[in-house]
Structure 1
């Protein structure tokens, strides 16, 4: 359940592209100012990339998400149903109801096999030498990465990881998160080791972006399989 002051992530280009195919995918952040019955009252959304506020027009359809007190991610479809000026300009966002809020638990994040470029850095300078690598699989909760020959990371602890996600829209969002090292898996002498991580500190919008990437990859795999 959303509470006053909670952060809400809004995305364009997810619902519209199924209809028009030409909507740019962008991510915005806003806060819940008030609520009335089936309406969320939010401050003007801020574009995550440009930092500028965006007064969406009435009727604009969006995908919204927020993290509940149970730390699960909730996603729902919505639209702008009005604009008002209180102490500050606000937008009225339709709340489709709790039954329309799709709950995604951390342990239930869908995972997809995909090679996403990644960069790994220590939290404390000098703890180990930073390196670039790629994922073997990724989900909204974590990833498995290849450990290049000669690269060293601790058996446990936290690291800083960055990803570049190649989205269907052509966008290349850059995701940076702190992650906990879960375990290292030894391979044969001819293969790199693998280490798995769990995202420990990640922005809601970034986690949602990864989830969207996973969904796109799964859909592409299903289309490919159906065409065989």
Structure 2
């Protein structure tokens, strides 16, 4: 499923510059080719500033369906047209690489990532996640860990990407469930109670990459 001509798309430039990476731009599909999508020159959301893109720049893109589902894909700039109205040519993604995410049904994937946890009493500890998603994470804990259901935690998640870059994602979360395992450890499930859209997108991007890896095994 691809965006249609005249539909809006929203994009972010994959960049090591934090300010640039968190800036969202809006564009419109102007044409669809066999291997590319043509879009209007993007404009920063909330401003009237046009964004100059460069060949090879990696983009994180999503478009909305009428039902409110966000469709995400990664792409890169192929070039530009020299028509009366300048357009940007971006790589057309494979249909299988477009991931649909509904607000109440975030993609969740198995992942062993480092998670730094801070409790309200000042205690801090490091754990390894079991899975992560746009709505929360779970991790393994020793039985001596004193978190209980309902606790509010302050967390930092270390998120590595396929291109070698690493992000630190900050969020606040609530312990919603604890499950004792045969090994004696506990699985602790968290849901996000305080996370910015920018930080959530970092996790969602990681989940997309992981899902793509699973599909190609």
TM-score by length of 1: 0.59
Alignment correspondent of 1:170: 164
Alignment partner for residue 13 of structure 2, among 11, 20, 38? 11
Aligned residues: 179
Residue 179 of structure 1 deviates from its aligned partner by: 1.1
Residues 43, 111 of structure 1: CA spacing in aligned structure 2 closer, same or farther, 3 A cutoff? Answer: closer
Q: Say yes or no: does 1:209 pair with 2:206.
A: no
What CA distance in whole angstroms lies between the structure 2 residues aligned with 1:120 and 1:107?
25
What CA distance in whole angstroms lies between the structure 2 residues aligned with 1:151 and 1:56?
49
What CA distance in whole angstroms lies between the structure 1 residues aligned with 2:63 and 2:175?
26
Alignment correspondent of 1:185: 179
Q: Within 5 Å, which residues of 2 pair with 1:17-36?
A: 28-30=21-23
Flag structure 2 segments of 5+ consecutive residues without an equivalent.
1-9, 31-39, 81-86, 90-97
Q: Say yes or no: does 1:157 pair with 2:151.
A: yes
Post-superposition CA distance 1:7-35 (Å, at most 9, x none)? x761337xxxxxxxxxx797623367x99
What CA distance in whole angstroms lies between the structure 2 residues aligned with 1:132 and 1:212?
23
Alignment correspondent of 1:115: 112
SS in 2 for 1:173: strand
TM-score by length of 2: 0.62
Q: Say yes or no: does 1:62 pair with 2:56.
A: no
Flag structure 1 segments of 5+ consecutive residues without an equivalent.
1-7, 14-23, 46-53, 82-91, 95-100
Alignment correspondent of 2:191: 198
Alignment partner for residue 134 of structure 1, among 112, 128, 139? 128
Contact 2:56-2:76 within 8 A present in 1 as well: no
What CA distance in whole angstroms lies between the structure 1 residues aligned with 2:186 and 2:172?
21
Post-superposition CA distance 1:166-206 (Å, at most 9, x none)? 21111111111111211111223x32111101112212222
What CA distance in whole angstroms lies between the structure 2 residues aligned with 1:154 and 1:42?
43
Contact 1:158-1:181 within 8 A present in 2 as well: yes
